[in-house]
Structure 1
Amino acid sequence: FPDMERRDSIFLVGESGTKQYAATVGIYQSNFVADWLGVPATHGVAHLRYGEVHELVEGRICQTYALWDLLDLLRQTGIWPIAPSLGAEVAWPAPATADGVRLGEEDPEQSASSIALVQAMHQGLFRFDQKNLDSMQQHKYWTRNFLWYGPAGIGTARGMEGYRAHHQAPFLRAFPDRSGAGHFIDMGCGSYAVTGGWPSVQATHAGPGWLGLAATGKRVTMRVMDFYRIDNGLIAENWIPIDIIEALLQLGTDVLERVAHLRGKPNTRL
């Protein structure tokens, strides 16, 4: 990536608990001229999607959490090593309001309200009765035509019907006992909020359907970030970096090994 540029579409700064963070969503853009991590070069422009959270101490970065969407980069090369996504595989747009890069002072009451809404929505998710999606009462927290930008492998959905069809129902069929594993960040920044856990989710892979997989019965954790835009007290947009490749590795699928196989380098070891 010899001519790489970084393009933040969301840039948030604030506090979570006693810590200060800068949290970003965007793309690295460059000509892709040499293979990287087994991903074949395209010899054209490529985008590497990211979600990053940087912990700050006295104005300097002391720790970084980074999720780079390697599966989306693979999609751009024409190699797709897992089942087709149920949602739409599209580039993540910047916020519809074109105000995602927040460099000024924020209203502390609005920031607190934004993260409180997100946390209330999360509490609703954990009221799932393992029978009915309506038990979570998610309609209380989202706009009618919200956009849910999932990682490559899951894809993008619009509105509650699309969100349930392309992500929520397949995920809960596969992981009916999923629970929170804790967050390192819960931060409001004006009309935006960000949460993240390393891991954020823990569950048993007890049912079929997620990413086309049959149930494995294995315990799994997932590294997740969520970036939210709030509009008039409801969530209008949600960008979700997830470490899909690491989660699949826990379930017995080595994505990069499959990429090597598709490129003519199969693993013949027993």
Structure 2
Amino acid sequence: MIRKGLSVFLALILLLPAALAEGTAGKDPETGLEYFKVRHGSRESRKIAITMDDVNERQWVWKAVELCREYGIAMTFFPNGSSLKEADREGWLDVIDVGCEIGNHGNDHKSMKEQGAWAVLYKLGIFQQKLDSVLGVHYPVRWFRPPYGDIADSSGNENPHTRTIRMYGYDHVLLWDVSETNARKAAEKVQNGSILLYHARKKDYECLAELIPMLLDAGYEPVTVSELFGYPLPETGGELYTFDKDLYLEK
């Protein structure tokens, strides 16, 4: 029964329009989002998005949240599911309370080149399940950032994983256009709509502590990724998400 379901599921994926296989999303009239892989927002707006990945060293997340509180800004955090611990519930709830956002960075940090469609689906879904469990409330994640910013499979083809990510429910994958831990150099690279990539570690936090006031002085407005593209922040509530792996994975 499971094998039959998998065959049907795979057939549906393969029948998706060719446009999806090319990695384009069609332009959204409200947000201006055009491509499946998103590297920046509007170049006409002073809004930018500061993002922080991995978060294995969670103390730097909490310190970054304090920077957000101090300067009245918001960031978006992309933890791996393996770094989400129920002991950190209050910390993650504080992330939301201060107006920041949480995105999906997969359940681990393995390259997608090493994974098939079923593994990708599982890791997307189990991340959402873990996040809800840690928060104690359903938080509908809107953005997925692939490990290493790469959605290619073992042959270098992005189309199969593009189909799988879309099938799970994400319309875009989020990349970046600035990755620099020298505050002065980062400030020089930032432009309207920039998405900045950082990680939860000491040198990145120290860069942000110096960089954020520089960006504010330059007239930039650091917001969440959703706000960068004109979406409201995700609203919590409803039943906790449970990923039914039997729908996707062979036993």
- Do the two structures share a fold, i.e. TM-score over 0.5? no
Q: Which has the higher helix share?
A: 2
TM-score of the aligned structures, taking structure 1 as reference length: 0.22
**Greater RCO (Cα-Cα under 8 Å, separation 6 or more):** 2
